Amino acid sequence: MGVEVFPQPQPVSNASGRPVGQPTLSGAPLVSGSHRLAVEHLRKVYPTGLVALDDVTFSAGVGVLGLLGPNGAGKTTLIEILATLLSPTAGRVFFDDIDLVRHPQRIRTILGYLPQSFGLYPNLTVRQFLHFAATLCGLRGRRLRERIAAATEMVHIESLHSRNMRGLSGGERQRVGIAQALLGDPRLLIVDEPTSGLDPQERLHFRNLLFDLGRDRVVILSTHLVKDVEFSCTDLVVLHHGRILYRGFPPDLVETARDRTWEFDLAPGEFDHVRDRFQLVTFIEDERGGFRARVISDGPPVPGAWTVAPNLEDAYILLVGTEGRRDE
């Protein structure tokens, strides 16, 4: 089961009167700003014949755009092209007036990138690491010191300066990683699976940080975790098998699951049956110690089931199937 939302979303209005799933020209519908990323008919075919990206087109303005999809959807390939680490087979990418494919060196001066894993240099202190990273960015003297101070303050790691990199927690390492990505004061910031491996509290802090950083720059957040998008992003692209399934507002995607999200009580021994038979979102333990199933269905999945208000995870499962279900 799924919904065909992209590339021609149906002109159905939600309660606000705004078309459901309707792409916008600016690509940043909830935030204003002058910077703009434009991806046009991007295609990537590897030498093995694997088509990783197939006619990917979208734009993004100032704010946080979530790039959401299951593992293997093509997100990392797209991120590496945007970060100028990989060339596309076809298509074009522009940031403002810069062609990323033809002039990668120009974009690198205004690009910040945090890969899923980055070199930690465990024997360096945080201050030494940032000084080293700033030097690699071409910063020197007073400008170097100013940018380290500014990046440190933005991600709130002043207290970590004298700590060795090897002793940092997962959340602290990610904050240092963002700080190094901000050293050049980038107009375009790209982060790939930034909350993977973080505990719930660290994950929450990091989502809030990304939202703040999107106030004055274009931020691309690549993730397979729906809650990363739900808490941080004003705009959304869902990628699956190298193609865009949805492009628009997260709340509008949620609307596609209204009246199709159901819950019902589970009897002992029914877990495997429900998992095999229905488009399962999750199992829920209730206050009495019993369990309920939350599923996607066009009609009542079982007698006695009731509809519930959908959330982004429900709509995502409706769009990509249970392949999109991942534990956090």
**Average pLDDT for residues 194-208, to the nearest whole number?**
82
Res 109: pLDDT: 86
pLDDT over threshold 80, residue 203:
yes
pLDDT over threshold 80, residue 222:
yes
**Average pLDDT for residues 147-154, to the nearest whole number?**
92
Cα 7 to Cα 21, 36, 233, 275, distances in angstroms: 10, 20, 21, 31
**Residue 1 tokens, joined:** 């089961």
Question: How does pLDDT run across 95-146, given as a tens digit for each residue?
Answer: 998 999 999 999 988 999 998 877 778 889 999 999 999 998 889 999 999 9
Residue 196, Cα to own-chain centre: how many angstroms? Answer: 11
**Average pLDDT for residues 67-73, to the nearest whole number?**
92
**Average pLDDT for residues 263-291, to the nearest whole number?**
88
Res 323: pLDDT: 67
- Name the one residue in this structure whose structure tokens are 């993004």: 60
Residues 88 and 44 sit within 8 Å (Cβ to Cβ): yes
Q: Whole-angstrom Cα distance, residue 215 to residue 142?
A: 26
Q: Whole-angstrom Cα distance, residue 186 to residue 147?
A: 11
Burial class (CB in 10 A: 0-12, 13-18, 19+), 256: buried
Nearest to 93 by CA among 75, 80, 76, 81: 81
Percent of the chain with pLDDT over 70: 88
**Average pLDDT for residues 238-258, to the nearest whole number?**
96
Res 46: pLDDT: 97
Q: Whole-angstrom Cα distance, residue 56 to residue 121?
A: 36
Task: Note if the bond before 7 is cis, omega within 30 degrees.
Answer: yes
Fold of the 36-249 domain: Rossmann fold (3.40.50)
Nearest to 112 by CA among 35, 57, 226: 35
What is the pLDDT confidence band of residue 288, given thresholds at 50, 70 and 90?
A: confident
Res 280: pLDDT: 92
Question: How does pLDDT run across 14-35, given as a tens digit for each residue?
Answer: 333 333 343 332 333 333 457 8
**Average pLDDT for residues 209-235, to the nearest whole number?**
91
pTM to 2 decimals? 0.82
